[in-house]
């Protein structure tokens, strides 16, 4: 398990040091701002959606290593996906970040994400051991979700 923890740490550091999809998209791209007052993380997510597909995504902002790595991983995971696939990815990630009571009692380990289905996002599963950092990891995902909600409504999908 130590080797897997080292691998996960390296993935997070790689995304923090070399973030993917940094920059801005010009209008008419969807622009959504997110802020985590607990850590001071600030993020702007730009979405270019055509015919129900997230064609491009760009990010600007600053924050802690967890928020920056999570936003980079998120952008890589959802780019090119349909809006429905993006919403499903958001839900899967939020489930990964859910703190289960059994994982906090000291006897049980939190659920382990399958790296084959979650890809690099599985590297963030250790964040649940530090509940105060969960908001850092989910900031980008919540901001992405808000951008989709602003565009299509809370449950809607469609063409743009």
Pairwise CA distance, residues 79 & 10, whole Å: 22
Judge whether 48 lies within some domain: yes
pLDDT by residue (tens digit) across 76-109?
Answer: 999 999 999 999 999 999 998 986 544 555 555 5
Contact at 8 Å (CB) between 134 and 99?
Answer: yes
pLDDT value for 3:
77
Pairwise CA distance, residues 127 & 138, whole Å: 10
pLDDT by residue (tens digit) across 100-124?
Answer: 544 555 555 555 555 557 889 989 9
Q: Which two tokens stand for residue 140?
A: 């980008």
Judge whether 54 lies within some domain: yes
- The CATH number given to whatever domain includes residue 14 is 3.90.1010.10
pLDDT by residue (tens digit) across 21-36?
Answer: 999 999 999 999 999 9
Judge whether 148 lies within some domain: yes
**How many separate domains does the chain show?**
1
pLDDT value for 101:
46
The pTM of this model reads 0.86
Pairwise CA distance, residues 113 & 70, whole Å: 15
Average pLDDT in the chain: 87
- Residue 85 lies in domain: 2-152
Q: At what angle do helices 83-96 and 134-152 cross, to 10 degrees?
A: 160
Judge whether 42 lies within some domain: yes
Pairwise CA distance, residues 116 & 142, whole Å: 24
Asked if residue 156 has pLDDT above 80, the reply is no
Of 39-48, 49-58, 83-92, 120-129, where does mean pLDDT reach its minimum?
Answer: 120-129
pLDDT value for 98:
87
Pairwise CA distance, residues 1 & 134, whole Å: 22
Judge whether 18 lies within some domain: yes
pLDDT value for 45:
98
Pairwise CA distance, residues 50 & 29, whole Å: 10
Judge whether 158 lies within some domain: no
Judge whether 101 lies within some domain: yes
Judge whether 75 lies within some domain: yes
Of 150, 125, 140, residue with least CA distance to 22? 140
Of 54, 52, 98, residue with least CA distance to 76? 54
Tell me the average pLDDT across 131-152.
Answer: 95
Contact at 8 Å (CB) between 47 and 54?
Answer: yes
């Amino acid at each position: 398990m130590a080797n897997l923890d080292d691998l996960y740490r390296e993935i997070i550091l790689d995304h923090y040091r070399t973030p993917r999809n940094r920059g801005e998209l010009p209008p008419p791209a969807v622009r959504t701002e997110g802020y985590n007052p607990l850590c001071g993380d600030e993020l702007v997510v730009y979405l270019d959606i055509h015919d129900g597909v997230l064609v491009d995504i760009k990010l600007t902002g600053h924050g802690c290593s967890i928020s920056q790595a999570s936003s980079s991983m998120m952008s890589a995971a959802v780019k090119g996906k349909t809006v429905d696939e993006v919403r499903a990815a958001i839900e899967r990630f939020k489930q990964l970040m859910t703190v289960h009571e059994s994982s906090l009692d000291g006897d049980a380990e939190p659920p382990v994400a399958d790296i084959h289905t979650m890809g690099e996002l599985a590297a963030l599963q250790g964040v649940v051991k530090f509940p105060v950092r969960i908001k850092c990891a989910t900031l980008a995902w919540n901001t992405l979700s808000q951008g989709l909600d602003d565009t299509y409504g809370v449950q809607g999908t469609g063409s743009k």
